[in-house]
Amino acid sequence: MILSGAWKRRKSSDHFLGLPMAKKLHPLVREYQDWSPRSAKLMDRGRQVFPGGDTRASAHYGPYPLVMESGEGCRLLDADGHEFLDFMNNFTSLIHGHAHPATVSAVTQQVPRGSAFAAPSASQIELAELIVSRIPSIEQMRFCSSGSEATLMALRCARAVTGRQKIMKMEGGYHGSYELAEVSLIPVPDQRGAIDHPRSLAIDNSIPDSVLADTVVCPYNEPDLARALINEHAAELAAVIVEPILGSMGMVPASAEFLTALREATEKNNIVLIFDEVISLRLSSAGEQGRQHLTPDLTCMGKIIGGGLPVGGFGGSKDLMQVFSPEAKETVFHASTFSGNALTMASGLATMSEFEEKDSDRINRLGERLRSGFNGTLSQHGIRGQAIGSGSLSNIILSDDTIHDARDSMQGMMAAGHISALLHLGMLRKGIVSASRLMYCISTPMDETHIDTAITALSDSLTELRPHIEAEKPGLLI
């Protein structure tokens, strides 16, 4: 097959979020390769059967990701025999880390009884009862197979009940892997438009123009601009969807004023307000909405509620959720082969039963300790940077400018260039796993000693990295 000449890579974040393409390999990249030869060989094999060597874009980083073989608690073991502290936890989804005894027991007991039925299970009902009891905004819910599916079905619900088509999402907001969810995920500076009317940007050439036309983009953490945009488009908007913590763009917390503005403006205009708490549900037993004392119309969930198995969920008032009832006069069709499968439900019930408010409070305090330690270390080394986030969720951004929204995060990432990627590789060699964008999250097996180990690793990594910063990015030095 010959690709059309119309196929061109859109301008993306590759040139500043990853390692640069260069004829001469960077010495720190060479050290990483020498340190992980088994992973390198396995990834070479992977490239023969997968485009790029893997099946998950978010987990990829240069020159190749480490291949993991096992995990227990907060520790991982890779193919080369290195042991790590896991501060990624499969992108925040493993609240109890790896192989939690209660989760292992529940899954082990369920497997011989069957993994999935085209029928409800008792554990499905029990897990839903637990979630409904904890989150006041959810009276009824449905399970699905991913956070992506959860946000997709919440948007369909909003369109069905309002009769409107357009959706408002936040600039830099990520709601899964489908067209609308990825609009303006990366606010590229010369394409994103003015702050008061951001442009709807395609993440790549697969996004139809019709999706861009149906998506209104709102700047994050701008209450007055949000109100104005909602009022401007009110007659067309079915829903406003927002992450209370802007996850993929640096773990930027939404201000109380911003979330309140969204709630007030959507109520005024009969627009469905959706909180995407796929990441932030871990911040309290009732998610970030519980900490903010705000009630969205619909809430989307995923990650921690499956105990490490694929899962999603969404819920809200009985009136809204009735559009999914097979017994309703007019219903929104939602069929998904593995929704509420017995294996995931058993895993999720065991996991969530072991996660109480005292647990979220404790790991939130550990997150504060991590950010404080990281910030102190960056300052001591004379390097511009900061750890931002909320509770057990953190992100290092190599910039000392205020990080208010996705545009600020983007500016910081661009200024740091490949140094962020080199810092990620350095932390890996010091035994600390994070997302390549320098996102860190805490799991319940962790304690203060694990946090302090990560802080020491950052100090050691910055010592190693500083000569290269001086030579390659001196603007990062204070």
Chain segment 401-451, per-residue pLDDT in tens: 999 999 999 999 999 999 999 999 999 999 999 999 999 999 999 999 999
- C-alpha dist (Å) from residue 185 to 146, 176, 218: 19, 10, 12
pLDDT (0 to 100) of residue 9: 38
Of the candidates 404, 375, 475, 390, the one whose C-alpha atom is nearest the C-alpha of residue 441 is 390
H-type alpha helices, 400-447: 406-416, 418-429
Position 120: which residue type?
Answer: P
The dotted CATH code for 101-353 is: 3.40.640.10
CA distances, 387 to each of 392, 397, 450 (Å): 12, 6, 17
Select from 316, 302, 318, 351 the least CA-distant residue to 130: 351
pLDDT (0 to 100) of residue 325 = 94
- pTM > 0.75: yes
Query: Are 220 and 254 within 8 A, CB to CB?
Result: yes
Q: What is the pLDDT of residues 168-220, one digit of tens each?
A: 999 999 999 999 999 999 999 999 999 999 999 999 999 999 999 999 999 99
- Strand, coil or helix: 308: coil
Average confidence (pLDDT) per 10 residues, the chain, 478 residues: 46 52 82 98 97 92 97 98 98 98 98 95 97 97 97 97 97 95 94 95 94 97 98 98 96 98 98 98 97 97 98 97 91 93 98 98 98 98 98 98 96 95 98 98 98 98 97 96
Alpha-carbon torsion (453, 455, 461, 467), positive or negative:
negative
Which tokens go with 256? Answer: 């109380």
According to the model, what pLDDT value does residue 29 have?
97
Q: Where are the alpha helices (DSSP H) in 183-302?
A: 209-213, 223-233, 256-268, 287-292
Query: Residue ranges of the domains in the chain?
Result: 34-98+356-476, 101-353
Could you tell me what percent of the chain has a pLDDT over 70? 96
Type of residue numbered 254? A
Class of the 34-98+356-476 domain? Answer: alpha beta
pLDDT value at residue 329: 83
- Same topology, domains 34-98+356-476 and 101-353? Answer is no
> 63 preceded by cis ω (within 30°)?
yes
